[in-house]
Amino acid sequence: MSALDLEAAARAASAAADRARAETLPRFRHVATERKADGSPVTEADLAAERAIREVLREALPEAGIVGEEFGAEGATDGLAWVVDPIDGTIAFSRGLPLFTTLIALLEDGEPVLGLIDLPCFDERYLGWRGAGVRRNGEAVRVSSRSDLRGALVSHGDPFCFDRAGQRPAFERMAREIPMLRGYTDAFGHAQVLSGAIDVMVDLDCNLWDLAPTRALVGEAGGACVLTPEVAGKRGLVFGSPPLVEELAGFLEL
């Protein structure tokens, strides 16, 4: 895929995120929450936003398949495929916390080549594609260059995710050895790593749509990324400042 094609795909992803905002923001703090079969929360906003995203992406790149959290796979997904999470952080959304995001990625033969993380309540959008860097609302951003883990701001996903991934000892070591360990969870935390506000993050027990945008973006922002082995169909990431990723990945049993 050429850079020009990726630029066009980025415009489509951004248009889809605009449509998602139109569905999520009016419902924020004004929508009921239900439970899916797996026990995770879902709202009318999740469903409406994913429908809107799919409509835009389908029209912009009809040859690409689409995989979304709420409606599954559509079309062939072994070549070009969009990956969509209409509301990443539905727990935050459903509880009135403005830390939810919309995630869109484009895969080519299984590899993420474009990523978008949209933070509707903050009017911030992180967008990048292969060879183009990463921009937040049009301004280039880079990951942190910090190399001292004890002086770093380190983020993590929910502790129970470490249990599910068989990595509880790693979390306990992080809690003992890292003074500024904070739980900026979900893609809100991912976005803060891309801009260097957070130095490095560990996020485990994730689905494809949780990981794909960040995998596409972090290298373009000058960062490193370690993908953890699959456990029960899910994987995780250690990502951010390259020297910190190398050190922190050593906490995990990989």
* This prediction's pTM: 0.96
My answer on whether 71 and 162 are in the same domain is no
User: What pLDDT does residue 251 have?
Assistant: 98
My answer on whether 100 and 169 are in the same domain is no
User: What pLDDT does residue 2 have?
Assistant: 52
- Report the CATH number that the domain containing residue 100 is assigned in CATH: 3.30.540.10
Q: Indicate the DSSP class of residue 31.
A: -
CA angle (124 as vertex; 120, 130 as ends), nearest 5:
115
Domain count of the fold of the chain: 2
User: What pLDDT does residue 223 have?
Assistant: 98
Q: Which amino acid is at 192?
A: Q
Domain holding 222, by residue range, is 149-249
Q: Which amino acid is at 2?
A: S
My answer on whether 124 and 10 are in the same domain is yes
| DSSP string for 52-112 | HHHHHHHHH-TTSEEEETTTEEES--SSEEEEEEEEE-HHHHHTT-TT-EEEEEEEETTEE
- Report the CATH number that the domain containing residue 187 is assigned in CATH: 3.40.190.80
User: What pLDDT does residue 1 have?
Assistant: 47
User: What pLDDT does residue 49 have?
Assistant: 98
What is the side-by-side order of every strand in the sheet holding 101-108?
72-74, 65-68, 80-88, 101-108, 111-119, 124-129, 134-136, 139-140
Among residues 48, 59, 65, 47, the alpha carbon closest in space to that of 11 is found at 59
Would you give per-residue pLDDT tens digits along the chain (254 residues)?
454 599 999 999 999 999 999 999 999 999 988 888 888 889 999 999 999 999 999 999 999 999 999 999 998 888 899 999 999 999 999 999 999 999 999 999 999 999 999 999 999 999 999 999 999 999 999 999 999 999 999 999 999 999 999 999 999 999 999 999 999 999 999 999 999 999 999 999 999 999 999 999 999 999 999 999 999 999 999 999 999 999 999 999 98
- Measured distance CA(242)–CA(254) in Å, rounded: 17
My answer on whether 162 and 122 are in the same domain is no
Q: Indicate the DSSP class of residue 234.
A: B
Neighbours of 97 (CB within 10 A): 14
User: What pLDDT does residue 38 have?
Assistant: 82
**Of 94, 111, 137, the domain-final residue:** 137
